[in-house]
Chain A
Amino acid sequence: DTAVSQTPKYLVTQMGNDKSIKCEQNLGHDTMYWYKQDSKKFLKIMFSYNNKELIINETVPNRFSPKSPDKAHLNLHINSLELGDSAVYFCASRETETQYFGPGTRLLVL
């Protein structure tokens, strides 16, 4: 009965590769997010979708492309991975004021 799930949990890859992270929520929420948390624990929003529509797009390189096939899913594709992309990526969904975070995907770019 996981509320917000992400796959994979860990991702180790080489520079220049393309990778995807998937997120699913079974809470029936309309709004979903992608956050990036760097090594200093700073959590920064990247994207937000409401009912499959992009509503927030922070200053993120266009190598990052979110896709929402339906309101329960929000995936993140990253092209040409760079060392600086190493971080933990959290998906979240929102009901009223409360955001529920997924377990995170730990990405390490070598």
Chain B
Amino acid sequence: QKEVEQNSGPLSVPEGAIASLNCTYSDRVSQSFFWYRQYSGKSPELIMSIYSNGDKEDGRFTAQLNKASQYVSLLIRDSQPSDSATYLCAVTRTSGSRLTFGEGTQLTVNP
């Protein structure tokens, strides 16, 4: 079983729609959860972090965490073509420990 699994892509949504990206993790003691965005040919950049159950909103992005289900998601509202990228879910076991990444979900937002 992979440590971090993401829903297989690619995911395609029309401009203005909500894009939903999902991630599950296998290590129950994981404490910190991150979403990175990676444009083609570029390096990953952190867009959201979440540490406790529930929702965390930042502009058009909402991260959701459910530790009981070992599930974390990212919702992108009012999707824009500029959101087209690969989204990487990452998890750490304890504060400051190594990041374990999922394989990424490629998102395309069609104008």
Binding site for B on A (CB under 8 A): 31, 33, 40-45, 48, 56, 90, 94, 96-99, 101-104
Contacts and interface: CB of A to CB of B under 8 A. Distances in A.
Contact of B43 (A42, A48, A96, A104): A104
B99 interface: yes
B104 A41 contact: yes
Contact of B88 (A43, A97, A102, A104): A43
Contact of A103 (B32, B43, B46, B104): B43
Given A90-B44, A103-B42, A104-B43, A98 B49 contact: yes
Interface of B: 32, 34, 38, 42-46, 49, 86, 88, 92, 95-96, 98-101, 103-104, 106
Nearest to A45: B98
A68 B104 CA distance: 30
A42 B103 CA distance: 5
A22 B103 CA distance: 26
Nearest to B31: A97
Given A98-B49, A103-B42, A104-B43, A56 B96 contact: no
Given A41-B38, A43-B44, A43-B88, A97 B104 contact: no
Given A98-B49, A99-B46, A103-B43, A43 B101 contact: yes
B99 A45 contact: yes
Given A97-B49, A99-B46, 20 more contacts: A41-B38, A42-B103, A42-B104, A43-B101, A43-B104, A45-B98, A45-B100, A48-B98, A56-B98, A90-B43, A90-B44, A94-B96, A97-B34, A97-B95, A98-B49, A101-B43, A101-B45, A103-B42, A103-B43, A104-B42
